[in-house]
Structure 1
Amino acid sequence: MARSTRGVIAPFANAVRMNVVAAVQNRARGYRGWTGAVNTDFDPMDPATASAPFEAYRELHRTGRVHYNPRRSNFILSRLSDVRTALRDTEHVTSAEGVTRLKFSAPLAVLTDGDEHARLRKQVQPGFSKGAMDSWKGMTEKLATELVTEVIDDPGCDVVQRLAIPMPIRMIAQILGIPECDAEDFRRWSEAGVGIMDFSPTPRGVVGAVKSMAAMATLRRYFLNQFAHGGLKGSGTVLGRLLEHNSDGSLTDEQLFLIAVHLLIAGNETTTNLLGGMFDTLAHNPDQYDMIRADPDLIPMAVEEQLRVTTPIQNLYRYTCSDYEIAGVTIPRGSRILLLFGAANRDPIAFEDPDQYRADRNPRTHIAFGYGAHMCVGAPLARMEAQAVLRELVPRVSRIDVVGETTWSRHSSLRGPTRLAVRLTPVR
């Protein structure tokens, strides 16, 4: 493998090999920490649990603060205060060994802590400044108008395929400067590449990981070829903005590619899940949709409540780099901790009637975008897209109805509708 690929492709390949071996080793070692935690069979790798996890979350909340799944060798945190504490304590609970069951490292902000994380985040931050958001607002509103119109004009269509998927990927493509003629290829490679987040040490999981790595390699070739010919670095693109703020000239083409990958991971399927979940929620809570229509100033708060209720990224992992004490339990050094964002956002101690969607609730402590140093840098873009769609719906659509049965993803971490047929009743 060429030296220039080692920054992102090689770690994935090495991680797959290491995790197949570690799956056996970790299970045996994990029993050291079994005492003190509440044993559970909760497992987001179970497709049925992944698609409908909320009763399992309620059971976790009823039975304790620190759980342990001996089959998976995972410690599990589900309380909002505990998850926030762990996210903040990067000195003891690290992202540097991976944030999924696939244990690996790479020079991405999401996979680093401390000074290195601060340095990488500083490189990315200018691309998501208020000025950047303001410059993309018109683009977002135009897309929302176009896609909502398509859904209104085709009653019974799948809003996931017609709006929730195309909106974020088209936004990302536009802010990266991807030519329209390459947009479909870009979408296909991107969706395949982020599949690495759902790795499992099984024959099928290894095959899927290989396909994901191949897609990442294809994306890398595409980006570096574009860079070589002057593409994707214009002043209006997110990468161009980063170069303008890179006063020491330290950003290489390889680093720009890694930043683009970060954007894909953070802002593609997660925003799709937010948008699809929003249509499902408003269809099943017409009184709340009527409340928003009566007072459109509620839209920003309604989107925050949507983020809390559906939580597009249900969980991420961390690894302990020293013994970690929480709620009277000592989690041993080198353990894997599953942080349940989705459960934390429905913590009955933190939120009254946590399973209910309330458009006028102010759920300011939710962690749908993470917390602390690793707060998602792309959060303003996701919020802007969801608010744009809701602002387009409110004056034009009096009612949202689901036609048929909604199906939900069975991804262990990323949760949203995969099929959601809707009928939008236009305002007369």
Structure 2
Amino acid sequence: MDPIIAATHADPYRYYAKLRSAGGLTFDPELKLWVASSARAVCAVLAHTDCRVRPAQEPVPKAIARGTAGKVFSQLMRMNDGEHQRCPRSAFEPALGLIDLDDVGAQVSARLITADADGLYNAMFRGPVCVVAALLGFTPAQARTISELTADFAACLSPLSNELQLAASDVAAQKLHGQFTELLAEPDVHSALLAGIMQRFEGDADTLIANLIGLCSQTFEACAGLIGNALLALRRQPELGAAPTGALLAEVQRFDPSVQNTRRFVAAACDIDGVRVEAGAVILVLLAAANRDPALNEDPDQFIWDRPNRRSFSFGSGRHQCPGQTLAMSIASATVREILNHGIEVDRLSWHYRPSLNGRIPLFSFVGG
């Protein structure tokens, strides 16, 4: 095993513990990158101003640099540092914090969920983006289109995507741009979320649209992983069905997060957690390993739904902490509750993990059906 393929391994957590015991920040000569695995090292990397989200020589992946998907990628706050990150964030974060969570629950419960593999897939991958699109002011029919296009666009974010997927991603980016352009052109904004974002946003329209697309694409994978890994927790420990769904999801995002790792690119030689790291180095930041560090959480390998003082890096920290954490958690929690209310039998689920270099998202089928 290595720290990249660990993300989709059946049980990467004992391996992560070995990495932590070897030192919080160590160099992997085969992968030719540094690996941060302890809570202290992960915190230090995420807080360091010389650790950037993209390499200076390749701000946009070469595979998508020439198309619309690449243009959208280049404007995403999560893929930028400095003003290009702060400006969109200062508009999105306050508005996301004011969302009515009862409205989120109502949007989720309005979705049709069928008790089969297709229904489960749609609840995990399609439903959450539909909810966000509806909160932004799209009609139900438009929200379904946004969800479908977002699924195609998200392919540009994965290095594992093939040429056909990348071409579809580029087309999806163009269509999403058009959908949001039309939404923003409407004389009356009926969405409190969109109005709040627009009121605070000071950049150009293309940057605003790119980050609205980014909000949908982050919802797509983050919520799917949260929902799927919550169902696996319930399958492994049926007694967790008695726990409040929100509390269950809070522990899932720490215990078995959908985003296992992220990367940082060192812009200038610096000392990180007592280790000298040279300019141009790449650091693989094992968020999931840090979550299981005993220095961060007591009894970290135990799933404790009512865990006191829970601490987690699953949504990042510092200047790149995910501004949509509360929204994602509320959508995932409401969706798991609806799945269980529809009588889906989690003990009949079989699964494999979606191919990924950093995500841990189960894809389900039903045993005997």
TM-score band by shorter chain is 0.7 to 0.9
Cα distance, 1:244 vs structure 2: 3.1
- TM superposition shift of 1:407: 1.8
Matching of residue 288 in structure 1 with residue 246 in structure 2: no
Displacement of 1:128 in angstroms is 0.8
2:28 is the counterpart of 1:69? yes
Question: How many Å separate the matches in 2 of 1:97 and 1:193?
Answer: 22
1:335 to 281, 285, 302: 281
Contact 1:322 1:333 in 2 (8 A): yes
Distance 1:194 1:175 in 2: 20
Alpha carbons 1:43, 1:69 under 8 Å: kept? no
* 2:40 paired with 1:81: yes
**What's 1:142 paired with?**
106
**RMSD of aligned residue pairs (Cα, Å):** 3.2
Aligned mates of 1:174, 1:93 — CA distance in 2: 36
The alpha-carbon distance between structure 1 residues 338 and 111, as it changes in their structure 2 partners (threshold 3 A), is same
The 1:218–1:150 alpha-carbon spacing in structure 2 relative to 1, beyond 3 Å, is: closer
Partner of 2:350, secondary structure, is: coil
Counterparts of 2:122 and 2:90, CA distance in 1: 35
How far apart are 1:307 and its partner, in Å?
Answer: 0.6
Give 1:262's aligned residue: 214
**Alignment match of 1:241 (pick from 196, 205, 228):** 196
CA distance in 2, matches of 1:385, 1:157: 20
* Paired residue total: 357
1:164 aligned partner, one-letter code:
M
Distance 1:404 1:279 in 2: 9
Counterparts of 1:14-413 in structure 2 under 5 Å?
42-44=2-4, 46=5, 50-52=8-10, 53-89=12-48, 91-97=49-55, 102=61, 106-130=74-98, 133-134=99-100, 137-146=101-110, 150-151=113-114, 154=115, 157=117, 160-199=120-159, 205=162, 208-228=165-185, 230=186, 234-236=189-191, 238-246=193-201, 250-290=202-242, 292=243, 296=244, 299-362=245-308, 364-389=310-335, 401-413=346-358
Alpha-carbon distance in structure 2 between the residues aligned to 1:158 and 1:362: 37
Q: What is the CA-CA distance between 1:110 and the residue it aligns to? A: 1.3
Deviation for aligned residue 1:265 = 2.9
Q: Deviations over 1:150-183 (max 9, x none)?
A: 45xx3x5456314222331111120122233333
Q: Give, in whole Å, the separation in 2 of the partners of 1:253 and 1:49.
A: 36
Distance 1:214 1:73, change over 3 A: farther
Contact 2:75–2:211 (CA<8 Å) still a contact in 1?
A: no
Provide the C-alpha distance between the structure 1 equivalents of 2:348 and 2:174, rounded to a whole number of angstroms: 40
Once residues 277 and 413 of structure 1 are traced to their aligned partners in structure 2, the CA distance between those partners, rounded to angstroms, is 15
**Displacement of 1:100 after TM fit?**
10
Displacement of 1:286 after TM fit? 1.6
Residues 421 and 163 (structure 1), Cα distance of their counterparts in 2 relative to 1, 3 Å cut: farther
Partner-residue secondary structure (3-state), 1:373: helix
Q: Which amino acid aligns with 2:96?
A: F
Alignment equivalent of 1:417, drawn from 357, 362, 365: 362
The 8 Å contact of residues 265 and 282 in structure 2, kept in 1 or not, is answered as: yes
Query: Secondary structure at 1:410's aligned position in 2?
Result: coil
The answer to whether the 8 A contact 2:261-2:288 is kept is yes
Q: Is 1:157–1:422's contact at 8 Å kept on the other side of the alignment?
A: no
Q: Retained in 2: the 8 A contact 1:159–1:419?
A: no
Does the Cα contact within 8 Å between 2:88 and 2:203 map onto a contact in 1?
Answer: no
- Listed one character per residue, the Cα deviations across residues 260-279 of structure 1 (whole Å, up to 9, x for unaligned) are 12202322210111011111
One-letter amino acid matched to 1:83: V
In structure 2, the CA distance between the partners of 1:391 and 1:182, relative to structure 1 (3 Å rule), is: closer
Q: Distance in 2 between matches of 1:343 and 1:215?
A: 34
Is residue 42–residue 69 contact of structure 1 (8 Å, CA) maintained in 2? no
Contact kept? 2:247, 2:305, Cα under 8 Å: yes
Give the TM-score of the pair, scaled to structure 1. Answer: 0.73
TM-score normalised according to structure 2 size = 0.84
- TM-superposition CA deviations, 1:52-99 (whole Å, max 9, x none): 33343233223332233334322111111211121111x221125389
Deviation string 1:189-248 (CA, Å, 9 cap, x unpaired) is 211212222215xxx6455444433322332233224444x28x61315333222345xx
For 1:279 and 1:159, locate their aligned partners in 2 and report how far apart those are by CA, in whole Å: 14
Q: Aligned equivalents of 2:239 and 2:59: distance in 1?
A: 38
Structure 2 residues not aligned, in runs of 5+: 66-72
User: In structure 2, what is the Cα distance between the partners aligned to 1:370 and 1:305?
Assistant: 16
Relative to structure 1, the CA distance from residue 337 to residue 243 in structure 2 (aligned partners, 3 Å threshold; closer, same or farther) is same
Q: Which residue identity is paired with 1:42?
A: D
Distance (whole Å) between structure 2 residues aligned to residue 190 and residue 397 of structure 1 = 26
Q: Percent identity?
A: 22
- Residue-by-residue CA offset, 1:295-332 (whole Å, 9 max, x unaligned): x4xx4433211110121111111111112323443121
